[in-house]
Amino acid sequence: MTIKPPSSELRHGLRALATACAALLIGSTAHAQNLDVTTSFSILGDLVTQVGGERVKVHTLVGADEDAHAFQPRPSDARSVGGATLVVVNGLGFDDWMVRLARSGGYKGEVVVASAGIDTLGMTKDDHGHDHGHHHEEANGKAVDPHAWQDVGNVRRYIANIADALAKADPAGATAYRANAERYDGELQALDAEIRATFEALPAERRKVVSSHAAFGYFGRAYGVRFLSPVGVSNNAEPTAQGVARLIRQLKAENVPAVFIENVADPRLIERIRSESGARVGGTLYSDALSKADGPAPNYLQMMRANLDTLRNALSGGS
């Protein structure tokens, strides 16, 4: 019995098939997304994407221009968070609902707190006295401001924490995550220096701002700008009439150059403050969410530069 050698057509066909299989294997390895990461809000989603690169698929619950303070999860959100390989939150009481959601959805892994290790900013009673929102209380009873991402120095810590967490969850990608984090950290340092230089060039008496809710405490501390707001650290609280009247008096007494709308807040309150105080509306600040992809703040770096441009234009011009 003899085995007939395969015809040249067949040999050619087999070789082509083998090549195709190899390409498919290589292709699937190169494009595999090793981690499914779920994050709470758009700014954090961007930071995880910057570190994760192509290895990580990021799912974000509270999207562009949406308010995470007022987020109402749907049952499908619990299932989606429960199925994540890794859950990353801001912490500091901003997105505690995410931790509850992950657990109720069956998530058993570690919940990574991106803000871990930052120098937190407490709120004095005066800053949030009328705030009925669900901000975090520290052990000493002092409320903590969760908006830590508004200080670029803090975000450098976020990036280091995210890189550590991704490397732990996906050790094969550790080198890539560290390289991405290092590259991005360079961009953060440049941004931080740019913001600092901009405000140092402005006279101190012009570095005063009114915005909807107290989202810029960390920004103010880092860059020497005084922020006043009618609403406390949690955006879904109603300001009192006395609180608004007091703010308007303060605004006039201190010659605050401009008031600002926020992308996540109802503009009517700021409009009322503007009409009663005579201050100018300086534009829209991005506080707790990115803009949509075609807006001026589709990622963290662009968001901070958009806010910087808006503040610089409003505060440096004549009043």
- Which of 235/284 has CB closer to Zn ion? 235
How buried is 188 (Cβ within 10 angstroms: 0-12 exposed, 13-18 middle, 19+ buried)?
Answer: buried
How many C-beta neighbours within 10 Å does residue 66 have? 18
Q: At what angle do helices 268-277 and 241-253 cross, to 10 degrees?
A: 50
Question: According to CB under 5 A, which residues from 194 to 233 bind Zn ion?
Answer: 215
- Which of 214/311 has CB closer to Zn ion? 214
**Cβ at position 186, least distance to Zn ion in Å:** 28
In sign, the C-alpha dihedral spanning 99, 211, 128, 141 is positive
- Which of 238/254 has CB closer to Zn ion? 238
| Of 302, 300, 303, nearest in space to 48 by CA | 300
**Listed ranges 52-60, 255-263, 283-291, 293-301: which one lies at the site for Zn ion (CB under 5 A):** 283-291
Question: According to CB under 5 A, which residues from 287 to 306 bind Zn ion?
Answer: 288
**Cβ at position 166, least distance to Zn ion in Å:** 26
- Which of 35/98 has CB closer to Zn ion? 98
- Which of 73/83 has CB closer to Zn ion? 73
Residues 6 or more apart in contact with residue 174 via CB below 8 angstroms:
166, 167
**Cβ at position 194, least distance to Zn ion in Å:** 24
**Cβ at position 210, least distance to Zn ion in Å:** 15
Question: According to CB under 5 A, which residues from 148 to 167 bind Zn ion?
Answer: none
- Which of 89/176 has CB closer to Zn ion? 89
**Listed ranges 8-16, 42-50, 182-190, 234-242: which one lies at the site for Zn ion (CB under 5 A):** 234-242
How many residues bind Zn ion, per CB under 5 A?
A: 3
**Cβ at position 198, least distance to Zn ion in Å:** 23
- Which of 112/231 has CB closer to Zn ion? 231
235 belongs to the binding site for Zn ion (CB under 5 A): yes
What CA–CA distance (Å, rounded) separates 101 from 44?
17
- Which of 192/288 has CB closer to Zn ion? 288
**Cβ at position 54, least distance to Zn ion in Å:** 31
**Cβ at position 246, least distance to Zn ion in Å:** 21
- Which of 235/307 has CB closer to Zn ion? 235
Question: According to CB under 5 A, which residues from 87 to 146 bind Zn ion?
Answer: none
Question: According to CB under 5 A, which residues from 34 to 93 bind Zn ion?
Answer: none
Terminal-to-terminal C-alpha distance of the chain = 101
**Cβ at position 95, least distance to Zn ion in Å:** 11
Longest dimension (CA), the chain: 107
Our CA angle for 247, 253, 258, nearest 5°, is 65
Question: According to CB under 5 A, which residues from 16 to 35 bind Zn ion?
Answer: none
**Cβ at position 311, least distance to Zn ion in Å:** 17
Per the DSSP assignment, residues forming a β-bridge with 60 are: 39
**Listed ranges 42-50, 109-117, 253-261, 284-292: which one lies at the site for Zn ion (CB under 5 A):** 284-292
Q: Residue written as tokens 């949030």? A: 128
Do 273 and 244 form a contact (C-beta atoms < 8 A)?
A: yes
Q: Which residues bind Zn ion (CB under 5 A)?
A: 215, 235, 288
